[in-house]
Amino acid sequence: MSLTSKDSYARDLAQVERANADGRIPVVFVHGLWLLPTSWERWAAVFDEAGFVPVMPGWPDDPATVDEANAHPEVFAGKSVGQVADHFCDVVRKLDRAPVVIGHSFGGLITQIIAGRGLSRASVAIDPAPFRGVLPLPLSSLRAASAVLGNPANYHRAVPLTYEQFRYSFANAVTEAEARDLYETFAVPAPGEPLFQAAAANINPWTEVRVDTTAAERGPLLIISGEKDHTVPWAIAHASYKKQVRNESAVTEIVEIAGRGHALTLDSGWREVADTALGFVRRHVDTGDESSA
In three-state form (DSSP H/G/I as H, E/B as E, the rest C), the secondary structure along 221-269 is EEEEEECCCCCCCHHHHHHHHHHHCCCCCCCEEEEEECCCCCCCCCCCC
At 126-176, the pLDDT tens digits run 999 999 999 999 999 999 999 999 999 999 999 999 999 999 999 999 999
Return d(Cα 289, Cα 258) in angstroms, integer.
Answer: 34
Torsion of CA 269, 103, 288, 246, to 10 degrees: 110
CB burial class (10 A; 0-12, 13-18, 19+) of residue 33? buried
**Closest C-alpha to 187, from 266, 121, 92, 118:** 266
CB within 8 Å of 129: residues ≥ 6 apart? 32, 105, 106, 108, 109, 194, 198, 209, 232
Alpha helix ranges (H) inside the chain? 3-22, 41-49, 66-71, 81-93, 106-116, 139-149, 163-169, 176-186, 193-199, 234-244, 270-284
Return d(Cα 183, Cα 34) in angstroms, integer.
Answer: 10
Contact 124, 193 (CB under 8 A): no
Q: What is the pLDDT of residue 8?
A: 87
Q: What is the pLDDT of residue 116?
A: 98
CB within 8 Å of 93: residues ≥ 6 apart? 119, 293
Return d(Cα 46, Cα 99) in angstroms, integer.
Answer: 16
Q: What is the pLDDT of residue 293?
A: 39
Return d(Cα 91, Cα 88) in angstroms, integer.
Answer: 5
At 23-37, the pLDDT tens digits run 999 999 999 999 999
At 53-100, the pLDDT tens digits run 999 999 999 999 999 999 999 999 999 999 999 999 999 999 999 999
At 222-250, the pLDDT tens digits run 999 999 999 999 999 999 999 999 999 99
Q: Is the pLDDT of residue 292 over 80?
A: no
Phi, psi of 158 (to 5 degrees): -95, 130
Q: Is the pLDDT of residue 291 over 60?
A: no
Q: What is the pLDDT of residue 9?
A: 84
Enumerate domains of the chain plus CATH numbers.
Answer: 3-284 (3.40.50.1820)
Q: Is the pLDDT of residue 3 over 80?
A: no
Return d(Cα 284, Cα 280) in angstroms, integer.
Answer: 6
